[in-house]
Structure 1
């Protein structure tokens, strides 16, 4: 499995982080555009998934406000990152509640599997926004029912259309 050493970074703009070429290149050379990362600041650490983007000749990764808040950093802080090969099926960890709903509903699972990788990730991220397990189950059930009846609009797919 490919991994990097921990290295120091800071935010570039409001939510970007520059990844040094020496860190990013082994992943890109091995066709790993999506990576799993661990961020470290003081006594905090958390894991997340992201995509390596080339912007103006530099490798970048998004590190949005939600991640900044979770890590406890301000825009001027330096923190550390470590990259790992992403071995997840969808480029993000599937919440167990969403997986259980799909496992129990083969028709919804088949429709979900027909979506693009990006659409799958966006639905997974939507369910991951909720911390409460029951809420995750409820949202996953709504999504599975909607995709079975052909709703694919991102704004509608997460709304309850049933009494």
Structure 2
């Protein structure tokens, strides 16, 4: 199911957020949808956002970083066009070919990766996804796998081993 709507960039009190209309938020809750893929359009630009649905003080929203705002050329209060659907992928994050190849080539690291909590898996996936250069993605993925194999399972504390 795809949800299409217009909304403004608001705030959750600490960070910028894409406010989700109440009727859509109700449907998301009914269908127990917690992670989405959203195509966001503004100023003749388009961005794909992989996000979790959050609730604070009765407001349902997706976090919307300053970097994403800059990419679209928008700020708080601006209107956005949103096409949003449930993220039904295995990890609920955009796994890159490079990370997938490294996981397939290192069974020990893959087994460890599969035992991690979904949030830590997504952290690792996004660490690789954010990098633009393919070779750097491979290098980062290899380094992550080495950290997992030495027992460092906290993405925030990964060391540069390679």
Both structures adopt the same fold (TM-score exceeding 0.5): yes
Do structure 1's residue 37 and structure 2's residue 27 form an aligned pair?
no
The residue matched to 1:160 in structure 2 has which SS? Answer: coil
Report how far residue 76 of structure 1 moved: 3.7
**Contact 1:15–1:62 at 8 Å: present in 2 too?**
yes
Report how far residue 148 of structure 1 moved: 1.1
TM-score by length of 2: 0.91
Give, in whole Å, the separation in 1 of the partners of 2:156 and 2:60: 31
The residue matched to 1:6 in structure 2 has which SS? Answer: strand
Unaligned runs of 5+ in 1: none
Q: What's the Cα RMSD here?
A: 1.5
- 1:161 maps to what in 2? 161
- 1:5 maps to what in 2? 4
Pair 1:6–1:20, CA change in 2 (3 A): closer
Give, in whole Å, the separation in 2 of the partners of 1:100 and 1:149: 20
TM-score by length of 1: 0.91
The residue matched to 1:81 in structure 2 has which SS? Answer: strand
Report how far residue 59 of structure 1 moved: 0.6
The residue matched to 2:156 in structure 1 has which SS? Answer: coil
Do structure 1's residue 110 and structure 2's residue 111 form an aligned pair?
yes
Q: Between Structure 1 and Structure 2, how many residues are aligned?
A: 160
Report how far residue 50 of structure 1 moved: 0.8
Pair 1:9–1:75, CA change in 2 (3 A): closer
Give, in whole Å, the separation in 2 of the partners of 1:26 and 1:50: 17
**Contact 2:28–2:34 at 8 Å: present in 1 too?**
yes
**Contact 2:3–2:83 at 8 Å: present in 1 too?**
yes
The residue matched to 1:103 in structure 2 has which SS? Answer: helix
